[in-house]
Amino acid sequence: MAFELEKLFVDVFAPQSGDVVTIMYDLPHSEIRDHKEWRERRQMADEWHQQIAGLSQSYGVLVNPIVTYDATGAHNADMPEYGMCGDERVRLEDIIRDSTIVISMPQFSASAPLIGFTRTYPNLRVASMPMATKSMEETGLSADYKQIAATCARIAPLFENASGIEVTFSTGHTCYFDVSDHKTVLQDNGLLHPGAGKDALRFANLPAGEVLTCPNEAENSRTTGEIPAVFGDETIVFIVGNNEIIDIKGDGPVAQKKRREFREEAALRNIAEVAIGCNDKAVVTGNILEDEKAGFHWAYGRSDQFGGTVGVGDFSSPDKVRHIDIVYARGNPIVCTRFDFIFPNGARKTAITDGLLCV
């Protein structure tokens, strides 16, 4: 399916007369240096802005000037208070509050604070596209989002009814994720239609397509096991107990750096997410935005954006806030060979085999 921005805009947002659209991105400054991919993303955002503005009369929507702000330097950190709307200095929350559709295309993910805004402003729908690339228009962004929504709807009840999830990796390691407290199960299906209601997610990472939840973070959490991960040429193993990373196996520089990070920033140790990607057009390229839509992934660090308990205040400073996803879809160095939902009666349902969805 060839990419058409108008089709994506209509399928995702179902725009209606009176909608106010804001497209926004962050800017390099001082110590946060610019680079080629970032410049290309800003150009992509400008192109989307121009095309959507050209559609405004057809759909009766108002399109604001491009909104920009100084980059935070950290994924999922809170956004700065002020930015620019065209040539006017504005309070970002005011612009977001007065919008019904926000498309965010930054270098540093603003997903967590934007999810927070959707909870405050019930008419707001947000598509977050941190680190998006032009090439995604031909892969994950060209998917059939009605089909993705159907897949998410099929998988979500498994998360809701399971008490645990057991994952086996191609290295032979296993980890058990305790989901017995049945926190909110979120369907990032890419459909952000008006009238979804105050309690609906009203947020999507585009390319979209995943079902996720935050594991049990209580002191008696049974999340435990060993999770392997590859960083460059180095493989390390996260040792997990009570829903926290308690140690790391490995002697290389990455393992040493991670140990130091976890010593200095206790909130990073939190197992924040367990999820299944559901976008059949998503491909693994090393870009987490699309990679995570291709299969199983988990994350550590901040979790309050998904209904968890670890937020900005749990980190030593805003610039230390992190939510780090690691993916095990086909095409990654390590693959999820089996993903089993485990139910309170002991029954199991396999959802992934050899990196591929099978439900």
pLDDT at position 197: 66
Q: Cis check for the bond before 207: say yes or no (omega within 30 of 0).
A: yes
Q: H or E stretch including 296?
A: strand 296-301
Judged by phi (left if over 0) then psi (alpha if -120 to 50, else beta), residue 203 lies in: beta
Q: H or E stretch including 37?
A: helix 36-59
CA angle 232, 238, 240 (to 5 degrees): 160
Read off the pLDDT of residues 181-239 as tens digits, 9 standing for 90 and up: 867 899 989 899 998 766 677 899 899 999 999 999 998 999 999 999 999 999 999 99
pLDDT at position 169: 98
d(CA 268, CA 317): 12
What average pLDDT is seen over the chain?
94
- Using 50 as the pLDDT threshold, list the residues of the chain that sit under it: none
d(CA 180, CA 338): 20
pLDDT at position 179: 96
Q: What is the DSSP letter of 179?
A: -
> What is the amino acid identity at position 299?
A
> What CA–CA distances, in Å, run from 272 to 110, 208, 209, 215?
17, 19, 18, 7
d(CA 292, CA 283): 9
Cβ pair 52, 63 in contact under 8 A: yes
> What CA–CA distances, in Å, run from 51 to 4, 54, 207, 210?
11, 5, 19, 27
Cβ pair 61, 19 in contact under 8 A: yes
